[in-house]
Structure 1
Amino acid sequence: MMRPIVNEAIEKYCLRHTTQPSRYCQAIHDYTRRHVPYSQMLIGPFEAGFLRFLLKLIRAKRVLEIGCFTGYSALAMAECLPKTGQVITLDVNPETTRLAQQFWKKAPDGGKIKLILGNALTSLNRLKGTFDFVFIDADKTNYLPYLRKALSLLSPNGMIAADNCLWGGDVLKRHAKEKDTKAIQRFNRYVSRRKDLEVLLAPIRDGIFLIQKKRK
């Protein structure tokens, strides 16, 4: 689902006044919109710009992405990392990730990206070390286990961003029946009730939940 909660005209205005993506990111964006099914899964240039700002603010060097799709967000984040930085991205779809890799090969910063293909929960359990930033944008029913594992891999000053946490406004439904809606509602309740976390649910695009561990 991708039904932005912000007025479309306002979003376009904001985008016109925002630093534009690289031509390599733009190529992924344009191709995906024109040729790839479920292209609404793409985060888009405005949200990518927001993520890049976060990475720069926290001086991230190692990034974990759960949900790669066609590789737009992975490349956007890789471009603002230092030369020694790395994005590890997890996805289960061999077709869309094959396309992503084709685009990354053409980009100067594509070499910073490492794709791990397979079940994300299995892959998460095999990862070692810590990450400065984790971006969760995958199957909604697994958001909670993704978060729990991401927290265990997060560096002390690291940050987690979870996408689609307003779910097109459907989070307001009191008696939701759709499984993804209920999963996001559960996720939001869980995150907001964790007293050990500093959290912010930002009304950007389809809602981005920003999560950090509180300093002791």
Structure 2
Amino acid sequence: MSFFEEKNPEMDRYLENHASSEPEILKKLRKETYQKTTQPHMISGYQQGRLLTIISQMMKPQNILEIGTFTGYATLCLAAGLAENGKITTLDVNEDLAYLPKKYFAESGHSSKIDFKIQDAKEFLKETDQFFDLVFIDADKENYAEYFRLIKPHTKSGSVVMFDNVLWYGKVLEENPKQKSTQVIKELNDLIAKDDDFENLILPLRDGVNFLRRK
């Protein structure tokens, strides 16, 4: 649950009731995530999922990178807009949970386009020579600033990058936060705002999405 859902749940329900319907496979995945995981709130929400799908469908990206697979909800949303021969690489380090996204990737119509890796994202970004049209990061917050630094060399003009949870339940308004994750998210937002190679906007959707486009 996000900071905004806690503040105004009625508005959140209104927004969901006036958005495109959720595909059946995503409904099933969301239900099973709540049944079988200890932190189901980590799943990309219905509204956010619709945003990811629409952006991907508008861009028709050839190459997508996702950092933080969890149960694969956002992966499937992003994969829906891939170009005909496109690919999404999705990274996570939780081997114990890997069976769940693998199950739904296999059931989806996008299985051949999804490259699911159990690998540290920093390691992957240091090793790969790929460029990405679309990047979505929803992973360990204490590495957010480092992810931004490592991702930038793998973007080109027109690339879109999205960081989730950048309002961090409103904690970014704290002047001197003690929590490491809050400190790093504030650092990330500052880095992005000062980087002349990107234009950006923080969307107050759920817990905040920093939406960047490489100039």
Q: TM-score normalised by the shorter chain: which range applies?
A: over 0.9
**Where does structure 1 differ by over 4 angstroms across 4 or more consecutive aligned residues?**
none
Distance 1:137 1:207 in 2: 11
Count of residues in Structure 1 that have an aligned counterpart in Structure 2: 213
Instruction: State the alpha-carbon separation in 2 of the partners of residues 84 and 24 from structure 1.
Output: 22
Q: Distance in 2 between matches of 1:87 and 1:168?
A: 29
Identity %: 30
Compute the RMSD of aligned alpha carbons: 1.4
Matches within 5 A, 1:156-195: 156-195=157-196
Alpha-carbon distance in 1 for matches of 2:194, 2:174: 20
Unaligned residue ranges in structure 2 (runs of 5+): none
8 A Cα contact 2:132 2:159, kept in partner? yes
Provide the rounded CA distance (Å) in 2 between the counterparts of 1:68 and 1:113. 11
CA drift at 1:82:
3.0
Structure 1 partner of 2:60: 59
Distance 1:75 1:128 in 2: 24
**2:200 aligned residue:** 199
1:5 paired residue number? 4
Letter in 2 for 1:69: F
Post-superposition Cα deviations, 1:57-87, rounded to whole Å, max 9, x if no partner, equal: 2232211001100111101111222332211
1:74-85 pair list within 5 angstroms = 74-85=75-86
1-side partners of 2:38 and 2:131: how far apart? 34
SS in structure 2 opposite 1:131?
Answer: coil
Deviations 1:6-59 (A, max 9, x none): 522111111111112221122111110122111111111110111111122223
CA distance in 2, matches of 1:199, 1:93: 30
Structure 1 residues without counterparts, runs of 5 or longer: none
Write the distance in 1 (CA, Å) between the matches of 2:181 and 2:57.
31
Partner of residue 49, structure 1: 50
Deviation (angstroms), 1:98: 2.1
Superposition deviation, residue 97 in structure 1: 2.1
Measure the CA separation in 2 of the matches of 1:77 and 1:64.
9
Structure 2 contact 156–214 (Cα < 8 Å) conserved: no
Give the conservation status (yes or no) of the 8 Å contact 2:57–2:80. Answer: no
Secondary structure of 2:156's counterpart equals: strand
- TM-score, structure 1 length as denominator? 0.93
How far did residue 155 of structure 1 move? 3.0
The aligned residue for residue 139 of structure 1 is 140
Give a deviation string over 1:103-137, Cα, whole Å, max 9, x none: 11111112211111121101122223211100011
Whole-Å Cα distance in 2 between the matches of residues 84 and 60 of structure 1?
10
TM-score scaled by structure 2? 0.94
- 2: CA distance between counterparts of 1:175 and 1:75? 38
Q: Which has the higher contact order (CA 8 A, sep 6+)?
A: 1
CA distance in 1, matches of 2:144, 2:38: 23
SS at match of 1:49: helix
- Structure 2: distance between partners of 1:76 and 1:98: 18
